[in-house]
Each structure stands twice: as structure tokens, then as C-alpha cells.
Amino acid sequence: MLKPFTTERLAIRQLELPDAPELARISDVPAVSQWMAFMEGGFPLEKAQALIASQDDTKEYFLAVRLPDGALIGAMGVIDHPDGSIEVGYWFGVDYQGKGYASEALRGMLVQIAADPTLAPRSIFAECRPDNAASIRLLTKTGFYATGCPGPRPNRIEFRLG
């Protein structure tokens, strides 16, 4: 869905099957997986492989977020919903949280969406658990606002890009 792009400190491109071991390594820890509905019960290698392999069938695209040295530090999602809306999401390894990487990656992704004439006119939303203060701060810092509506998944609140 999105072409590879870079930000000041990051290289971002669609996840591929060879990325699965690194993705599982940073994701299969409770401090990360507890916040992601699709990671319930953990996120071992098999789940990482299945997520990556299903991208074209599900229209849920996932992007690897890497440092210049090549280290995978997180992932971002872009979901093409049937109603025409675009859902964005993200998760980062514990060692890479609180360093501005998620903010930089999300801003970069929003710039890419805005530059694509087929995506720019579409509404963009995200969701998170109401007790995920870090994600709420990130979303509001990058221009999203809470709608007061539940998100598509259980126990989530919706944010729209304003």
C-alpha cells in the first residue's frame, strides 16, 4: 500500500517473511503484546509469519521500522477498510519506547498517506485501549482526537485524524 520511505532516523518498508523472527523477538513480550488485540496470548514466530503472509488477502499491511544499522525496532500497520477509511497502528520493542521513534514513524507514515492521491482524501483513524496513556499521548501529539466512540476491537477507543 505504501512505498518504502525514510525519516530522519528511520527506514520504513513493508514487512516480509524474512522479518518474522525479528518481529516476534520484539513483539512476543507482555509489555508489547498486551496492547495489541491480535497479539492476545503472545506473538511467537508462527503468529508473526502468519501476519506477514496474510497482508494481501486481508488488506492489512504492516511496515518494518528500522534504525540505520538495520535493527528492527517496531512495526506499523495500515488497514484498508471496506468503508474506505484507513486505520493506522504501531508497536515498538520495549528498548525503543519513549525515544520518539513511534512519533517520528507515525508522522512519516501520515506524510506518505497525504502525498498519495488515492489515499489522501480518505479518513484516517486509530484505536487504542483507554488505559494506554503512552499511545493516547502519541495520537494526540500527532493530530488525532478522541471521538468518544468505541474502536472496532473490544475495549478500544477511537481516534480520528483531525
User: What pLDDT digit, counting tens, does each position of 58-91 carry?
Assistant: 889 999 999 999 999 999 999 999 999 999 999 9
Kindly report the CATH number that applies to the domain delimited by 5-121.
3.40.630.30
User: What pLDDT digit, counting tens, does each position of 89-146 carry?
Assistant: 999 999 999 999 999 999 999 999 999 999 999 999 999 999 999 999 999 999 999 9
- pLDDT for 6 equals 97
Task: Please say whether the beta carbons of 58 and 87 come within 8 A.
Answer: no
Residue 42 has pLDDT above 90, yes or no: yes
- pLDDT for 40 equals 87
- Where do the structural domains in the chain lie, given as residue ranges? 5-121
Residues 6+ apart with CB under 8 A from 95: 73
Q: Which amino acid, 114?
A: A
DSSP-based three-state secondary structure for 54: coil
User: What pLDDT digit, counting tens, does each position of 19-39 carry?
Assistant: 999 999 999 999 999 999 889
- pLDDT for 87 equals 96
Burial track 19-52 (b if 16+ CB lie within 10 A, e otherwise): bbebbbebbbeeebbebbeebeeebeeebbbebb
Residue 1 has pLDDT above 90, yes or no: no
Which residue's C-alpha cell is 481516534?
159
Q: Record the pTM.
A: 0.94
- pLDDT for 89 equals 96
Banded pLDDT at 56 (limits 50, 70, 90): confident
162 burial class (0-12, 13-18, 19+ CB within 10 angstroms)?
exposed
Banded pLDDT at 2 (limits 50, 70, 90): confident
- pLDDT for 48 equals 97
